[in-house]
Homo-oligomer: A and B are copies of this chain.
C-alpha cells in the first residue's frame, strides 16, 4: 500500500509537532502530469472546489442571461462565501429575480464562515439562515436554473433532478469519466458530489482554463465563469481569504478554489495547466499552505499575498510555524515547465 508524502509540517520549538500527508497533481489539458506527488489515482471528492463547474448549467441553459445575472452573481455561484451582508444580499437578490424566496434553498443554515460576519449576526441577536450558508450563491444559481427550465424547485438537490443531472453531464464530459454511483457522495449542502482521481481533476481544471476539447459555446461559458471570478473575487470567498486575495492580484493567471476536507483545485490558463490536491486528513491549514506553495512556485509575485503560517501564543508570540516539508519544497523546486 502506497503512503502519501508529508507535504506540510507544523513545528513548535525545536520539533515538528504535526504532519500533513497528501497528494498533488499538476496536469495539462491532455492529462500529461507536470507534477505528481502521492496517490493521484484513487477517487477524491472535490467538494466545493468544483463550484465553477457546477455553475456551467447556469450559463449554458441561458439562465444567467434570462435573469440578468452579471459577473458578481456568476462569481458568487462559484463561491464559498464568508456570509457577510454583501454575500447574503446578492444571493437573496438572485432568488428574487427568479421569483423565489430564501426558503426555497436546500443548502441548510450554518453560521457564517467569516468570523466577523458570525460575530455580527450573534451581536444582532439573529440566527444564521440558509443565505449565510457558504454555498447559498451556488444554490441560488441552481434554483434559478430550475425555474428557467420550468422544472420543480422542491427537490433540486436530489441526484436525479435535472439540475444535478446537468451538473453531472458537464463534469463527466470535461473529466472524461463516467462518474457513477460508486464515486458519488453527498456534500454538506445536500447536493451530490462525484469523486475522481486527482490526476483527472487536475486535467479537468487545465481544461477549464484552456477550453480544450470543447465546443465554442462551452468555451465561452467557461471563459465567462472564470472572468466573473477574476472580476469579483470577493464573491468567491471574502476578505483576507486566499482565493479572493490571489485572484484579485493575479486575474487571468491564477484561478483557485478551496474545497472541504483538505481539497484545493485551480487553473493556470497562461501555462496550460490545472492542479488538484488533497490533504489525506482533510486539514484546511495544510491544503491552503500546499496550494499557496504551488501558486507561489508558478507565480513568484504571489509571495507575501497571504500571511505566512505562524503558530503563536495567545499573546501573539511566534513559537512555531506551518511550513512546506523539505520533500515538497524539493519537488516544487525541481518542477520543469
Q: Which residues of A contact B (CB under 8 A)?
A: 3, 10, 12-15, 17-21, 43-45, 106-110, 119, 122-123, 125, 133, 181-190, 193, 195, 261-262, 279-283, 286, 312-317, 319-320
Pairs A–B under 8 Å by Cβ, sample size 18: A14-B182, A14-B183, A14-B184, A15-B183, A15-B195, A17-B44, A17-B45, A17-B185, A19-B281, A107-B314, A109-B314, A123-B125, A186-B313, A189-B313, A190-B315, A280-B281, A281-B286, A282-B283
On whether the beta carbons of A186 and B282 are closer than 8 Å, the reply is: no
Could you say which residues of chain B place their CB within 8 Å of the CB of A182? 14
Q: Which residue of B lies closest to A311 (CB)?
A: B188
- Cα A279 to Cα B17 with chains together (Å): 10
Q: Smallest Cβ distance from A106 to chain B, in angstroms?
A: 8
- Cα A255 to Cα B183 with chains together (Å): 42
Could you say which residues of chain B place their CB within 8 Å of the CB of A13? 184-186
Q: Smallest Cβ distance from A113 to chain B, in angstroms?
A: 12
On whether the beta carbons of B315 and A280 are closer than 8 Å, the reply is: no
Could you say which residues of chain B place their CB within 8 Å of the CB of A286? 281
On whether the beta carbons of A18 and B280 are closer than 8 Å, the reply is: yes
Could you say which residues of chain B place their CB within 8 Å of the CB of A314? 107-110, 133, 188-190
Told that A10-B261, A190-B315 touch, could you supply 10 new A-B pairs with CB distance under 8 A? A10-B282, A12-B193, A15-B195, A17-B44, A18-B280, A21-B281, A108-B316, A188-B312, A188-B313, A189-B314
On whether the beta carbons of B281 and A20 are closer than 8 Å, the reply is: yes
Q: Which residue of B lies closest to A191 (CB)?
A: B313
Could you say which residues of chain B place their CB within 8 Å of the CB of A183? 14-15
User: How many copies of this chain are found per oligomer?
Assistant: 2
On whether the beta carbons of B317 and A261 are closer than 8 Å, the reply is: no
Lowest 9 CB-CB distances: which A-B pairs, in order? A108-B314, A13-B185, A18-B282, A12-B185, A281-B281, A186-B319, A122-B122, A108-B315, A190-B313
Could you say which residues of chain B place their CB within 8 Å of the CB of A181? 14
- Cα A262 to Cα B18 with chains together (Å): 9
* Listed residue (A10, A13, A125, A190) with the most chain B CB atoms within 10 angstroms of its CB: A13
On whether the beta carbons of A14 and B319 are closer than 8 Å, the reply is: no
Q: Which residue of B lies closest to A135 (CB)?
A: B314
Could you say which residues of chain B place their CB within 8 Å of the CB of A15? 43, 45, 183, 185, 195
Q: Smallest Cβ distance from A27 to chain B, in angstroms?
A: 21
On whether the beta carbons of B261 and A17 are closer than 8 Å, the reply is: yes
- Cα A261 to Cα B19 with chains together (Å): 10
Q: Smallest Cβ distance from A121 to chain B, in angstroms?
A: 9
- Cα A159 to Cα B184 with chains together (Å): 53
Q: Smallest Cβ distance from A90 to chain B, in angstroms?
A: 20
- Cα A261 to Cα B9 with chains together (Å): 12
On whether the beta carbons of B280 and A283 are closer than 8 Å, the reply is: no
On whether the beta carbons of B319 and A185 are closer than 8 Å, the reply is: yes
- Cα A94 to Cα B181 with chains together (Å): 59
- Cα A282 to Cα B187 with chains together (Å): 24
Could you say which residues of chain B place their CB within 8 Å of the CB of A3? 3
